[in-house]
Amino acid sequence: METRTALVGIVVENPDSVNKLNSILHDYKQFIIGRMGVPHPTKEISIISIAMEAPADTISALSGKLGALPGISTKTIYAKA
């Protein structure tokens, strides 16, 4: 199956969703190349970026599951190559 390289951007506005978010990411660990999380210095939000290599439907499924969590927003961008 063809894979794609993508970056999933996540904004966390509800800290109560973090445990479920981490559980979902754990389920996709075989596709995750790297992860970086940054807390906003003046607001009660965190920004997480996930670099992935996976089939497009897997990337879309992860983004959809995360975006369905309360207080979580996601946006996915794909590499052209």
| Crossing angle for the helix pair 56-67 and 18-27, to the nearest 10 degrees | 170
User: pLDDT at residue 1 above 90?
Assistant: no
At position 20, the amino acid (one-letter code) is K
pLDDT in tens, 26-37: 999 999 999 999
Looking at the DSSP assignment, which residues form a beta bridge with residue 37? 48
- Give all domains of the chain, ordered by start, each with its CATH number: 4-78 (3.30.70.1150)
pLDDT in tens, 59-78: 999 999 999 999 999 999 99
Check: CB of residue 2 under 8 Å from CB of residue 59. no
Q: Is the pTM of this model over 0.85?
A: yes
| Predicted pLDDT of residue 22 | 97
